[in-house]
Structure 1
């Protein structure tokens, strides 16, 4: 029993606060409640107001705060989206860079500096993006996940079959498949691990 309690403490996030971006849908919407179940209070950064994750977090007795922000808009993170019906190719490219590199780097830099300046320990978990190795940074690299963003791909019989043929697990991933990975990376269980990519892909990369 003592060993079990010790192991539970190792993975406990009680007394911690997790800042989760991309929590409106998909993987982020599922990982944030998982962190709450492990004991953490949650700050959600969402472009669109979506109460699903907040309700699930509060249902397990944890506090949840929502920051409405659009990570795709440089220097105007809290501004509304452009009303243009279709972005130009250059705009689309700049938006991808802004969301996946610039804003992510800036957030890691600022949060990491705050952690260091406060003399505290902290965790930064990115999704498939190696940005820095300074404050216990470890990204999760997802494989093919059955979220609404991939509905068209799942519905395509040819492409879906080809994808399945390469996945040894013989199924698409579910957002719930990230729960254990996120809790491990956020807990004391990995306090001496930095700069490692945790691949969650059902074996896709092994083929």
Structure 2
């Protein structure tokens, strides 16, 4: 019987997979039978196979600096080669934040955040889509945030970059749906990851956040993977150009 959620045998590239949400997605896709190439700047990617008990050829760690376009393209080409020249799924999970007031955010910081959170997503998506177009199918999943919708606080650069991801997702979807490529984005809410450690430990901001979440708890990386698997599966073949919040109801509040 045809399984709308079966992605076994597919090939995926996941960026930022060394930790946090990215690592959880690497784990979920690997356990779903997907061959995964992981691109990250951290040496921790070389420990992923051991952590997950993966055999040779099931997970391919590739170290690359996505802020450097030459390094990005080299990393993508290496990933594509490791996957045998085919990519079915691209998950743009890598991202950075620098929480500080707008007056204290340097243009260097602004450009660095946009370089990773937006520019690298644009270029990787184009590279992947060029390959997906050849086979007439593909799934691109971008990482937005609830601040793609809500205004950020002490995070103007990050919030603006995540707002840009929504428009990029819609625009690429408009162009590439005709080739059988679905482009969607997820909007995680307040997640218990290293990126939010400072916020979770802030005696003023944490109670404010707690009061904003109807589910009465912060999210975990495991909360996000179900939506990622749906967006990568045949079940979402007619879903494109959308942003799905995974936030315990925070945006609805």
- Give the aligned length: 192
Q: Deviations over 1:46-100 (max 9, x none)?
A: 1111145333444489700011111123444479xxxxxxxx9222111111111
Q: 2:219 aligns with which of 169, 173, 181?
A: 173
Equivalent residue runs for 1:10-25 within 5 Å: 10-25=4-19
Aligned-partner SS, 2:125: helix
Structure 1 pair 20–48 and aligned structure 2 pair: CA distance change class (3 A)? same
Contact 1:45-1:66 at 8 Å conserved across structures: yes
Equivalent residue runs for 1:92-103 within 5 Å: 92-103=109-120
Root-mean-square deviation (CA), in Å? 2.1
Structure 1 or 2: more strand by fraction: 2
Matched, 1:49 2:43: yes
Gaps of 5+ in 2: 76-104, 145-164
Contact 1:122-1:136 at 8 Å conserved across structures: yes
> Which whole-Å CA distance do the structure 2 matches of 1:66 and 1:58 have between them?
14
Deviation at 1:31, TM superposition (A): 1.0
Matched, 1:158 2:175: no
Aligned-partner SS, 2:141: coil
**Taking structure 2 as the reference length, what is the TM-score of the superposition?**
0.70
**Taking structure 1 as the reference length, what is the TM-score of the superposition?**
0.85
Equivalent residue runs for 1:47-196 within 5 Å: 47-50=41-44, 51-59=46-54, 63-77=58-72, 89-116=106-133, 118-128=134-144, 129-130=165-166, 131=168, 132-133=172-173, 134=176, 135-196=181-242
